[in-house]
């Protein structure tokens, strides 16, 4: 399938549930470099940020019969967007997420809709000063549309995928009046939100 080599096949074969895929992503070193590696390159380098983690998760899901779906979560200009891989089990939506922070992580497949799933990230999505910044979400994007460009195993970076996410329609989740009334996260939430899985000294490598 998609020219996976034997080493990749063995890894993907073991990742036979969303939970196992999430555990694998958690072990990958986080990084903040301006890259967009394909799943093959992520497996080679053993490092990923949220976009790259979502692509690898989608590829692993597809390996086991799920459609390779990702959802784009967009933030205000004061924060960063986030991308998740989504899946359905028994008609309920869940998500796999690569992040270096204590929040914006895995979601159990218990949500009735993509909106409900996206909104589960709302109260965790805030800046260092506590301002809540999640503003919109996309419909699921089926990565099969990029099969002709070899997105799973390309040695080159796959920037055309985030570029596509930036162009498609998104569903707004707040009105201006709602934004003006948002309460900041509590100090203890801000403190927890600054916790990192991998230290900053590692991220620069």
45 domain-assigned: yes
pLDDT of residue 9 exceeding 90:
yes
Q: How far is CA 162 from its chain centroid?
A: 12
- pLDDT by residue (tens digit) across 72-126? 999 999 899 999 999 999 999 999 999 998 889 999 999 999 999 999 999 999 9
Distance between CA atoms of residues 31 and 49, nearest Å: 6
**pLDDT value of position 199:** 83
Distance between CA atoms of residues 62 and 11, nearest Å: 14
Angle, vertex CA 88, rays to CA 3 and CA 142, nearest 5:
45
1 domain-assigned: no
pLDDT of residue 32 exceeding 90:
no
Smallest Cα–Cα separation from 84: which of 38, 46, 137? 137
175 domain-assigned: yes
> Could you tell me which residue, 102 or 24, shows the higher pLDDT?
24
205 domain-assigned: no
Please answer whether residues 202 and 29 qualify as being in contact, where contact means their C-beta atoms are separated by less than 8 angstroms.
Answer: yes
**pLDDT value of position 2:** 66
pTM value? 0.95
127 domain-assigned: yes
147 domain-assigned: yes
Average pLDDT over all residues of the chain? 95
For every residue of 76-134, DSSP letters joined together read -TTS--EEEEEEEETTEEEEE---SBSSS--EEEEESSHHHHHHTTGGG-B-TT--B-E
Residue 119 belongs to domain with CATH number: 3.10.620
Distance between CA atoms of residues 71 and 84, nearest Å: 5
Whole domain around residue 28: which residue ranges? 6-199
Polymer length in residues for the chain: 205
204 domain-assigned: no
> Could you tell me which residue, 161 or 1, shows the higher pLDDT?
161
**pLDDT value of position 117:** 98
E strand or H helix that includes residue 190: helix 187-193
68 domain-assigned: yes
Distance between CA atoms of residues 178 and 50, nearest Å: 28
- pLDDT by residue (tens digit) across 165-197? 999 999 999 999 999 999 999 999 999 888 888
The structural domain count of the chain equals 1
Smallest Cα–Cα separation from 24: which of 6, 3, 46, 2? 46
């Amino acid at each position: 399938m998609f020219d996976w080599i034997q080493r990749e096949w063995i890894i993907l074969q073991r990742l036979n549930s969303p939970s196992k895929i999430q555990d694998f992503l958690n072990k990958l070193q986080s990084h903040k470099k301006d890259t967009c590696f394909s799943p093959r390159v992520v497996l080679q380098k053993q490092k990923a940020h949220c976009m790259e983690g979502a692509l690898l998760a989608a590829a692993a899901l597809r390996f086991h019969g799920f459609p390779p779906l990702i959802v784009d979560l967009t933030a205000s200009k004061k924060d960063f967007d986030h991308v998740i891989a989504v899946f359905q089990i028994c008609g309920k939506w869940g998500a796999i997420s690569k992040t270096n922070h204590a929040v914006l992580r895995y979601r159990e497949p218990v949500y009735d809709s993509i909106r409900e799933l996206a909104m589960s990230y709302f109260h965790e999505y805030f800046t260092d000063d506590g301002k809540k910044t999640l503003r919109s979400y996309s419909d699921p994007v089926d990565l099969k549309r990029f099969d002709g460009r070899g997105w799973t195993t390309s040695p080159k970076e796959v920037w055309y995928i985030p570029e596509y996410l930036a162009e498609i329609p998104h569903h707004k989740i707040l009105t201006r009046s709602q934004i003006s009334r948002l309460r900041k996260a509590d100090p203890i939430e801000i403190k927890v939100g600054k916790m990192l899985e991998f230290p900053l000294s590692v991220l620069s490598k």
